[in-house]
Amino acid sequence: MSSHNMIEIRGLDSHYKGRQVLFNIGFAIPHKKVTVIMGRSGCGKTTLLRHLIGLKPSESGRVFVEGQDMGSFDEKGMANYRRRIGVLFQSGALFNSLTVSQNIAVPLKVHTRLSDETIRIMSLIKLHLVGLADFLDYMPSQLSGGMRKRAGLARALAMDPEILFVDEPSSGLDPITAAGLDDLILELRETLGMTIIVVTHELESAVKIADQMVVMDRGNLLAVGTPDEIRSSQDETVLRFLRREAEEQQVNTESYLSRLLGRQYKAGENSTRRQGGVR
Amino acid sequence: MNPSAVTAPTGSGGGGRLSFSRSSQDTLQIAFTGGWKITESLPSLSDVQRELESGSPVRSISFDTTGLTAWDSAYLTFLLQIIEESTQKQIQVSQDGLPEGVRRLLDLATAVPERKGAAKQEKHTPFMERLGTTSVRLWNSNLEVFEFLGETTVAFLKLLVGRARFRPRDLWVTIQECGLEALPIVSLISALVGLIFAFVGAIQLKMFGAQIYVASLVGIAMTRIMGAVMTGIIMAGRTGASFAAQIGTMQANEEIDALKTLGISPMEFLVLPRMLSLMLMMPLLGLYSDFMGILGGMLIGVTVLDLNPMDYYNKTIEAVTLTHIWVGLFHSAVFGVIVSLAGCLRGMQCERSAAAVGNATTSAVVTSIVSIVVATSIITVVCQILDI
């Protein structure tokens, strides 16, 4: 395994409620680069993210962090890994019963023995970073969607993580706020040299921030490469995704009608079956 | 032509009407007149079915819409049903006579592709398969309970060695919520229960002139069982439900995931302070409930039975031994564990939706109350055997 890779995924399958949602995913996430995992809604991006942040256990030998098998992490190993990562969830996932500054202080209070004053200053620094220094004592419910996400980012950055995971940074935000968040992500890579993994379905934002793009479709890996490589790809599905075309799907009028008005078909089948059952 | 141009106001009033004519031996022409809108009364498909079955067999259907004054989805649905019926009977349908807007919408409606696996298929499952699936599900849910119990035990052990991580403030807040703030409702219910006991007992005991024993009856019943049981049930509905809702909402809001990724155990951070505070508060509330119940009984004794308050007090002191109080306290402690466990367990098991939070809350209350009743029975039987 090459040493410039932070995380390497090999042959990862995943199931959700008996349904397979990821099929043989394999790619590497380089050090200190922004990797964007992209695909349509429901293609398995978030499931993949959950595997990478250790919320969904993967089988042994599937996900490697700097060469170490994540499946073999014991409780302590996982705790160490989690101390190295920061996660910004789709909704921000702020603790609703705590103020913004208390939210950011939670990881610091739990993991460090810093004094309250130091923690306060550190929280303020993180809030400055995301432009929310004036909202220190606000409750999450008093913040707008964009602010909540930025506060979530500040909390994710509280412990100065080496790896930052961002789930759908632009979902539910207006284009200007979303662009602001993209700039922030780029700035974090520049100034703090973080390895950043972003999951998104926004093509524009992906091309803007990505050093490496990973395109997924229905649980399969379509393409991995720099934005330029992806753009020059010859793969029909990738091109279609880039052109934002809806997929051509076979139209079957008859089956649609029977689904819509299928009482005759189904009622007929059911009644015969029921009769059979009684007999 | 766009649909709105076709959707003229229903000048004639009244609903849509149908009429049939045969333009040739095997061609049925269906004429639509009037307003075919959702709010109007419309003919049913059976009229068309009857027409198709009567007379000579029909090979094609055409439409005449010159008398159609207005239409919306109701008309579209009717047409779709006719098309479906015709497809099954292998009858040609000509859409030429339909307004252009209708034709376009029909095309759109029938162009929706089927998503593979999206439609849930109703399947008849044999009895044995259902039995098997249910058993496996029950077994798995039992495993979940044991897993949760194990994790709770580990969290408590960590607390004992001083390594559990939670905010002490959370503990105090929960203690206040499930202790102090529960006092009014516990007072009311317990006093009323004591009052009811005194009333029911008084009627029987008066027949023997033994009214004074109402004090013993209320005293023993409240301290030994009823104080604890009533508090348990109140706390199940009040605090257990609130635990499940709080933790369930946090689950739906990804806050639990956030805690985990911050390297903080939700068991220590959320479950531990809640369990601890309820386990501490429940016996205290139980004792308080005993007191309120006895007070309620005394109220009836003094006012209805004309007993001397001092006599009532002395009789109560005489009847209620320390053993009864210990048994009551034991009940309370067990109920504290049950209610907090059920609330936190259901909250942690909650899925990511608002409806799931509601289900978690209901489930927490049901689990608590059923467990309280079962536990009471077991303790009572054990006390009987041990002669306590």
Would you say residue B11 has pLDDT above 60? no
Query: Burial code of B181-217, b = ≥16 C-beta within 10 A, e = fewer?
Result: ebeeebbebbbebbbbbbeebbeebeeeeebbebbbb
pLDDT of residue A247: 55
Chains A and B form CB pairs within 8 A to the count of 92
Contact across the interface for B264 and A106, Cβ inside 8 Å: yes
Query: Among B251, B255, B268, which Cα is nearest to B166's?
Result: B268
Do residue B107 and residue B151 come from a single domain?
no
3-state secondary structure of B306: coil
DSSP labels, B25-72: TTEEEEEEEEEE-TTS----HHHHHHHHHSSSPP-EEEEEEEEEEEE-
Do residue B46 and residue B195 come from a single domain?
no
Amino acid at site A147: M
Report if residue B5 sits inside a domain.
Answer: no
- At A56-106, the pLDDT tens digits run 888 777 899 988 888 888 888 888 898 899 999 988 899 998 999 999 998
Domain that holds residue B222: 146-385
Mutation pick from B127, B261, B353 vs chain A, by most beta carbons of A within 10 Å, is B261
- At B297-316, the pLDDT tens digits run 999 999 988 899 999 999 99
B120, B125, B131, B137: CA torsion to nearest 10: -10
How far apart CA A216 and CA A21 sit, in angstroms, is 11
Contact across the interface for B263 and A256, Cβ inside 8 Å: no
Amino acid at site B51: E
Yes or no: say if B364 and B346 are a contact pair by the CB < 8 Å rule: yes
DSSP labels, chain A: --TTEEEEEEEEEEEETTEEEEEEEEEEEETTSEEEEEESTTSSHHHHHHHHTTSS---TTSEEETTEEGGG--HHHHHHHHHHEEEE-TT----TTS-HHHHHHHHHHHH----HHHHHHHHHHHHHHTT-GGGTT--GGGS-HHHHHHHHHHHHTTT--SEEEEE-TTTTS-HHHHHHHHHHHHHHHHHH--EEEEEES-HHHHHHH-SEEEEEETTEEEEEE-HHHHHT---HHHHHHHTTPPPP----HHHHHHHHHTHHHHHHHHHHHHHHHH-
How far apart CA A3 and CA B294 sit, in angstroms, is 75
CATH code, domain with B86 = 3.30.750.24
Contact across the interface for B84 and A261, Cβ inside 8 Å: yes
- Measured between CB atoms, does A278 come within 8 Å of chain B? no
How far apart CA B230 and CA B290 sit, in angstroms, is 10
Domain-by-domain residue ranges, chain A?
A: 85-160
Do residue B167 and residue B259 come from a single domain?
yes
Which helix (H) or strand (E) segment holds residue B17: the answer is strand B17-24
Do residue B99 and residue B202 come from a single domain?
no
Contacts of A164 in chain B (CB under 8 A): none
3-state secondary structure of B373: helix
- At B157-215, the pLDDT tens digits run 999 998 888 888 889 999 999 999 999 999 999 999 999 999 999 888 888 888 889 99
Considering only alpha carbons, which residue of chain A is nearest residue B77?
A261
Report if residue B121 sits inside a domain.
Answer: no
Do residue B220 and residue B106 come from a single domain?
no
Verdict on whether the full-model pTM lies above 0.80:
no
Q: Span B51-62, mean pLDDT? A: 84
Q: Span A207-233, mean pLDDT? A: 89
Report if residue B130 sits inside a domain.
Answer: no
- Measured between CB atoms, does A264 come within 8 Å of chain B? yes
Do residue B65 and residue B195 come from a single domain?
no
pLDDT of residue A269: 41
Do residue B57 and residue B153 come from a single domain?
no
- End-of-domain residue from the set B111, B130, B161: B111
What's the domain count of chain B? Answer: 2
Amino acid at site B107: D
Cβ-based neighbours of B255, under 8 Å, separated by 6 or more: A93, A94, A95, A96
Report if residue B6 sits inside a domain.
Answer: no
- End-of-domain residue from the set B68, B93, B111: B111
Contact across the interface for B258 and A95, Cβ inside 8 Å: yes
Do residue B95 and residue B185 come from a single domain?
no
Cα atoms found within 13 Å of the Cα of residue B356, Cβ hemisphere only: 15
Amino acid at site A78: M
Do residue B216 and residue B163 come from a single domain?
yes
Q: What pLDDT band is residue A231 in, cutting at 50, 70 and 90?
A: confident
Report if residue B125 sits inside a domain.
Answer: no
Yes or no: say if B60 and B27 are a contact pair by the CB < 8 Å rule: yes
DSSP labels, B173-212: HHHHHHTGGGHHHHHHHHHHHHHHHHHHHHHHHHTTT-TT
Report if residue B126 sits inside a domain.
Answer: no
Contact across the interface for B84 and A257, Cβ inside 8 Å: yes
Query: Among B119, B136, B117, which Cα is nearest to B128's?
Result: B136
Distance of CA B140 to the CA centre of its chain: 21
Report if residue B177 sits inside a domain.
Answer: yes
Rounded to two decimals, the ipTM of the complex is 0.80
Query: Among A202, A218, A157, A192, which Cα is nearest to A21's?
Result: A218
Do residue B271 and residue B161 come from a single domain?
yes
Yes or no: say if B220 and B383 are a contact pair by the CB < 8 Å rule: no
Do residue B68 and residue B150 come from a single domain?
no
Contact across the interface for B111 and A251, Cβ inside 8 Å: yes
Strands B60-71 and B27-36: parallel
Q: Based on the number of CB atoms within 10 Å of its own CB, is A192 exposed (0-12), middle (13-18) or buried (19 or more)? A: middle
3-state secondary structure of B93: strand
Q: Span B140-152, mean pLDDT? A: 92
Q: Span B57-81, mean pLDDT? A: 88
- At A192-204, the pLDDT tens digits run 889 999 999 888 8
Would you say residue A273 has pLDDT above 70? no
Considering only alpha carbons, which residue of chain B is nearest residue A252?
B113
Report if residue B357 sits inside a domain.
Answer: yes
Residue from the list A79, A254, A257 with its beta carbon closest to the beta carbon of B263? A79
Q: Span A137-160, mean pLDDT? A: 91
